[in-house]
Amino acid sequence: MSEHIVSPKVYFTIFGVLMICTFLTVAAAEVDLNAYLPGLNIIVALTIAVFKASLVVLFFMHAKYSPKRTQLVIIASVFWLAIMLFMTMSDYVSRSWT
Amino acid sequence: MHRTGELYEQYRTLEQQRETASLGMWVFLSTEVLFFAGLFMTYTLNRSTYPDVFSEASKTIKLWPGALNTVVLIASSLTMALSVWASQVGKKKLLPLFLIATLILGTVFLGIKAYEYHDKYVEHHIPGWNFNFEPGADAATNAHAQLFFSLYFGMTGLHALHMIVGAGLLIWLLRESLRGRFTPEYNTPVENIGLYWHFVDIVWIFLFPLLYLIDRH
């Protein structure tokens, strides 16, 4: 049995970090960051969300300790998602260009 | 049909058997990613097209129930992760307790969600049903606000449906764990339902900032 067992200590630490990030994302949303740079609010909100999601995938879902082929499936699904978002948005944004 | 962790003939080792089950779950979750991604894509496009109305509509949603639900759902992910740990180290008494805690937190989430939906019902913010964004709103604003709320109900509704399915799976896990079926050698159902539960948590981690927090300031 060579499966990796993640200890409760790690789970509690990750939970703590996720709570801090939740607080930060709410706090950041109350501040008008767009005044400094247009769109900064959404960039900050999504960066925190991606960070939180990565922690959940890596530790709660054990991706950090998974075999390489499982990690490949995870990366592939994110990659496909990126293709859809990127290509659709690049079409949408560039339609007004002449 | 009752698996207890014996080795099936197509696998060489139990480890390979377990890794295959986990891989299959991840492939399923990949399809789930793309399933939700369609909605996220629709949201992004419409938000870029009608930024002002989307911003106004988003502000009518109360912040505190959404923030509280984020905390509740992440806490349920913690208890789910601890359930997996309990099954891996053979803590047969602890496992049902962690599963019950996860189930309770999941139910609390759905309860708060129902409270939020009721708010929207009272405010005439349910699309198509006596919809009126605000007194004196013109037809275009009403139409675009309906678009926001259609996406709000569509996305949170699909997420809630996943939670309800997850709750059903947890009840089954609880029953099987009380029968003592899960051991350090065999805990694939706990592990895989755990993966599903965390995935649903991740969807919410993105829904919360996109629906509640954008333009809150």
| Per-residue pLDDT reduced to its tens digit, A8-39 | 999 999 999 999 999 999 999 999 888 898 88
Chain A: residue nearest B90 by CA? Answer: A5
pLDDT of residue B177: 96
**Least CB-CB distance to A70: which of B23, B198, B215?**
B23
Instruction: Tell me the C-alpha distance between B37 and A17, whole Å.
Output: 26
| Inter-chain CB proximity A78 and B33 less than 8 Å | yes
Q: Tell me whether residue B68 is in a domain.
A: yes
What pLDDT, on the 0 to 100 scale, is given for residue A2? 53
Q: Among residues 98-157 of chain B, which lie with CB inside 8 Å of chain A?
A: none
Q: How far is CA A19 from the centre of its chain?
A: 15
3-state class of B183 per DSSP? Answer: coil
What's the pLDDT score for residue A1?
Answer: 41
Residue B1, pLDDT above cutoff 60: no
**B20 within domain boundaries:** no
Q: pTM of the prediction?
A: 0.94
- Using pLDDT thresholds of 50, 70 and 90, give the confidence band for residue B86: very high
**Is B11 domain-assigned?**
no
CB B215 within 8 A of CB B80: no
Instruction: Identify whether B171 is part of a domain.
Output: yes
Contacts by B161-170, CB closer than 8 A, 24 or more apart: B162/B200, B162/B203, B163/B106, B163/B109, B163/B110, B163/B200, B164/B110, B166/B106, B166/B193, B166/B196, B166/B197, B166/B200, B167/B103, B167/B106, B167/B107, B167/B110, B169/B193, B169/B196, B170/B99, B170/B102, B170/B103, B170/B106, B170/B197
pLDDT at residue B105 in the model: 98
- What is the CATH number for B155? 1.20.120.80
Number of domains in chain B: 1
User: If pLDDT is split at 50, 70 and 90, which confidence band does B3 have?
Assistant: low
Look at residue B216 in the predicted model and tell me its pLDDT. Answer: 79
Q: Do A48 and B23 touch (CB under 8 A)?
A: no
* Model ipTM over 0.90: yes
- Indicate the pLDDT class of residue B28, thresholds 50, 70 and 90: very high
Quote the domain boundaries for residue B157. 46-213
Q: Do the domain assignments include residue B189?
A: yes
pLDDT-above-70 percentage for chain A: 98
- The mean predicted confidence, pLDDT, of chain A is 93
Interchain CB distance below 8 Å, A61 and B194: yes
The answer to whether position B206 is within a domain reads yes
HSE at residue B14, side-chain half, CA atoms within 13 A, is 13
CA distance A43 to chain B (A): 10
